[in-house]
Amino acid sequence: MRQHDSPGDTLPLDSLDSRRELPAATGVIDLKAFLGSLLKIGYDGPISAEPFSRELREMSTEDALAATAAAMKKAFALIA
């Protein structure tokens, strides 16, 4: 299961697969509802971030990893 958010200038139905932000970055995708639904159905598989972000690409590997980890923690805190 890959998790991402759409750019802030995008409506949910207009999301493009090639434009992705870190999870919970923009709020376009309702991650609380999405992750809550996974809990309800008993999903217990892996979840990973898959952003396609120029800002993230321009960071050092360590900074990009830290930003991604922080975004995942923020997203999972929505359902804690």
**26-64: pLDDT as tens digits:** 877 788 999 999 999 999 999 988 888 888 989 999 999
DSSP states of the chain as a string? -EE-B--TT--GGG--TT-BB-TTSSSSS-HHHHHHHHHHTT--S--EE--B-HHHHTS-HHHHHHHHHHHHHHHHHTT-
Q: Dihedral sign, CA of 61, 7, 34, 77?
A: positive
The pTM of the full predicted model, rounded to 2 decimals, is 0.71
Mean pLDDT (the chain) is 81
Arithmetic mean of pLDDT, 21-29 = 82
Total domains in the fold of the chain = 1
Structural domain boundaries enclosing 38: 2-8+15-77
Q: Which helix (H) or strand (E) holds 2?
A: strand 2-3
